A and B are shown apart, each in its own frame.
Chain A
């Protein structure tokens, strides 16, 4: 491929000429013969389907069996402390179906009955308390939609283009509608010291415990102790029966199987906030407490797992954008590797700290494209390029890679994960 050049040098490659070529297809031609799927009586139009008592709780139809979580075995030493990936390339809208929403465990997904569930709150509180699951259902509830993005999402891509598919480069994320109790309600119930220099340490019931420290200001703001997601109980692998929801912050802090909340006068500096979830900079020092997930986006189709099946003509470019700082204000899309940008259409304005769907509907002329998306959030933050990120951080941060992603789409409509100049 020759590369993409700005219009002043190679104007004929882009713009009006391309649109005219695509539009010239004109009227739709007739098929050469009548379609037997229409002219012949089909079984499903004659026989009966299955009854309503066949499947009490349904799974997707067999033809969608490719829309599943996938694992990349060599990423981790053990599938018990590992990650899998949401098939974001094949999904639409903003809500992630729970059954294919990614998992990240440190000592496996545990099975914890509501009857065996206990939540303790202790430390700098007037009344250390123990709640049963039934107790939690008696507190006033809130419902919100939020994304949960693993701090390591896109982490394998720091040093270059590695994995070929949006599922693998961007699929450590899900977006659900949660119902639960504000953490501040439980802190008040225990009479916690809620002064601004205090910390809340949260840990799970699993062997890894996944303990993390949260500053009091965030704990009092929008953190939820959640027991429902997308209308039903949490899935086993997502923390059944109770997990923490920490809007806009790295997924590691969304402690699953939540068993204890402790109020402290300092951060614990646990394993998951010292050895892990700290970000090494080029000079060897490391950032700690990088909690917020910055504005980010990715084109989900076309993408390496979603080639263009139909040739030139109308093409839907579809993607996701999100920001831990608030709402997505705008998403721009480039077809020439970032030389020229145009504003995409927000298919659904996402809630604050939730996924937003965007579209750009184009008339594809069949020429190769270097597709990119660039998110902007309500604070004015513009999603950076990987080069911009590397200039500040080097290549060893592991976490928090929110760079602009490039897909090279060739004339056959096959897409590939690339880096561009």
Chain B
């Protein structure tokens, strides 16, 4: 049988597609109708999010920081947050709605998600405290780092230079150790080892 003629599978019902196809595109396609404001978002965030991400989305312990970090991307330790780094608001809405809270994913309603996203925008000083986010005004929100990304340019910036016959002999004058591993792992004794 040629591809396309196996007759395997069955047609998907609209309800099935609606249940699973919940992705939201950068242009807003896929957003359900709904709305939520900063104040509602703050309450929801305190309830469901702040134990990991902090009351102000600033992060707790090793958990992700969602706010701040503006203008750190060219520094030694960039702070990459929804505010400082993420190019599209659609991604925040889609990811929170689909995969958060961690351990209870998929439990937020559309309105809950609009409110939480509004609060995260507020935490990043991108909107005022009376802001309400909805499917209608979603496209008007400007993200700080929307122009911060380029498509993979290795084919121009790396491959031409690194597709050259390499040196085999007397390639440099000397080789000195400039840095040793910071975290030492014990050599595994017979039968097993303790890792780091």
Interface residues of A (CB under 8 A from B): 1, 3-9, 62-63, 65-66, 68, 70-74, 76-78, 80-81, 106-107, 120-123, 127-132, 135, 138-139, 160-165, 168, 184-185, 188-191, 201, 203, 207-209, 211, 259-260, 262, 264, 266, 268-271, 274-275, 278, 280, 282-292, 294, 304-305, 307, 332, 336-342, 370, 374, 376, 379-382, 384, 388, 392, 395-396, 408, 414, 416-421
Contact = CB atoms under 8 A, between A and B. Distances in A.
Nearest to B168: A341
Contacts of A285: 73, 148-150
A381 B17 contact: no
Given A305-B188, A379-B163, A419 B150 contact: no
B191 A268 contact: no
A77 B63 contact: yes
Nearest to A9: B173
Interface string B161-179: 0111011111111111111
B99 interface: yes
A207 B107 CA distance: 11
B47 interface: no
B87 A280 contact: no
B174 A161 contact: no
A130 B102 contact: no
B175 A280 contact: no
Contact of A6 (B151, B154, B164, B170): B170
Nearest to B85: A275
A416 B25 contact: no
B141 to A, nearest CB: 15
A271 B182 contact: no
Nearest to B30: A268
Given A269-B91, A420-B176, A388 B4 contact: no
Range, interface on chain B? 35 or more
Interface of B is mostly: loop
Given A207-B99, A304-B185, A419-B179, A381 B12 contact: no
B168 A340 contact: yes
A270 B74 CA distance: 23
A283 B185 CA distance: 34
28 contacts: A9-B174, A71-B195, A72-B196, A80-B103, A130-B12, A139-B8, A168-B196, A188-B4, A189-B8, A203-B23, A208-B105, A270-B95, A271-B91, A271-B94, A275-B82, A275-B85, A280-B78, A285-B73, A287-B154, A290-B154, A292-B154, A304-B187, A305-B188, A341-B166, A376-B166, A381-B162, A408-B180, A419-B179
A268 B150 CA distance: 16
Contacts of B80: 275, 280
Contacts of B11: 127-130
Given A189-B9, A381-B159, A120 B3 contact: no
Nearest to A342: B168
Interface string B72-115: 01101110101001111011001100110011011000000000
Nearest to A72: B196
B62 interface: yes
Pairs of residues from A and B, 9 with the lowest C-beta to C-beta distance, nearest first = A337-B175, A284-B74, A284-B73, A77-B62, A207-B105, A417-B181, A188-B4, A188-B3, A129-B9
A1 B16 CA distance: 67
Contact of B102 (A81, A120, A282, A339): A81
Most chain A CB within a 10 A radius of its CB, from B24, B52, B74: B74
A15 to B, nearest CB: 11
Given A1-B177, A77-B61, A107-B99, 4 more contacts: A3-B175, A72-B195, A120-B16, A379-B159
A107 B158 CA distance: 35
B137 interface: no
B175 A269 contact: no
Given A163-B181, A332-B166, A189 B4 contact: yes
A421 B73 contact: no
Contact of B91 (A65, A163, A275): A275
A381 B161 CA distance: 9
